[in-house]
Structure 1
């Protein structure tokens, strides 16, 4: 190889090295840009996730509030007719809506509580539901099992349960009756008892 050829080879290698260095620099620059873009996308995604979580929480609160309002509406709708039933059918002297008690770390809320202190000496616990579900039966059973310990002033009374619902399937109605509870259902905006003539309620 002549000196000229060697010089040309060295020159071409130097040029190639510079081009390679430029390519590496360009590649590194693109990697950095891509990394920045990915980080920005990550920040945007995280921001959207937080915003979505916030919106879902707010929606949950709104739905929960709507459920409470609808429940309160149902209880308010039931109260006049249930008061009439409790006084005329069962001779109750006191009818109280939305009774809450807290004792020894145990809390209980009763939609309607009615009782009589005379010779009748009985109390009725009414559970009001817009759409009756199976768990309402066990819920009322649980309420009645705790009732006398949370209301010692009624410990000598015979206590009965009533489930009043706007919407109730016939199958669930039968389960309520089998559990020994009175059933009330709405007709023309008024609740009325739907218990067979031979029905015997379970005393607690």
Structure 2
């Protein structure tokens, strides 16, 4: 009986010893894991800081890129204006994508510097773009003056007499320039003419599209 008791005690002591060893190992593992997690947390914090710096750098790079593009657009516009190629270099490449986007137009014909003279009556348009149902008449100037607007309106009135082949098309008039201030845009809007110009020297756009109703352009 005494032997059995001693054996049991020995077994219990052995089990307690092993348990102590296991607890020590578990404690060490937990401590190691805690240390590793602390290191990982520090690394993630450093990574977060690096990503924040990278984000700031990318933001600055984006700002510089936009600034450079705007400066380039302005310089390109000045050169085109100087050499008289505003229509070909600036307006025409932007006009077709614009009318497709805003008017869902499938342009079939573009005619820069369209001119015709009939029975003493004469008219010239810087750019005319036609699709199946609409006709887009562009007046292109380096700057805006009221006399330019008045001349454009007179040309619009006489267009279908000079070009009867387009008599069934709806006329949409667009005054295009490198830059248009708010006063010029308002004057154009009052005459139901779209104002096309660089938006903050970033890209060419219709500045008063939402202020004009298509119904105003019934020919």
Q: TM-score when scaled to structure 2?
A: 0.56
DSSP 3-state at the match of 2:185: helix
1:113 to 102, 107, 128: 128
Which protein has the bigger helix share? 2
Partner of 2:213: 200
Moved over 6 A (4+): none
Partner of 1:83: 96
RMSD: 2.1
CA distance in 1, matches of 2:142, 2:185: 14
CA distance in 2, matches of 1:139, 1:125: 13
Indicate if the aligned counterparts of 2:129 and 2:136 stay in contact, CA closer than 8 A: yes
Report how far residue 123 of structure 1 moved: 0.6
Q: TM-score when scaled to structure 1?
A: 0.60
Gaps of 5+ in 1: 1-67
CA distance in 1, matches of 2:99, 2:141: 17
Indicate if the aligned counterparts of 1:128 and 1:165 stay in contact, CA closer than 8 A: yes
Which protein has the bigger strand share? 1
CA distance in 2, matches of 1:108, 1:102: 6
DSSP 3-state at the match of 2:192: coil
1:95 to 104, 107, 110: 110
Higher mean C-alpha displacement, 188-197 vs 149-158: 188-197
Gaps of 5+ in 2: 1-79
Shift in alpha-carbon separation, 1:166–1:198, aligned structure 2, 3 A: closer
CA distance in 2, matches of 1:162, 1:80: 15
Shift in alpha-carbon separation, 1:71–1:115, aligned structure 2, 3 A: farther
How does 1:165-176 map onto structure 2 within 5 Å? 165-176=177-188
For these two proteins, the number of residue pairs brought into alignment is: 134
CA distance in 2, matches of 1:166, 1:69: 9
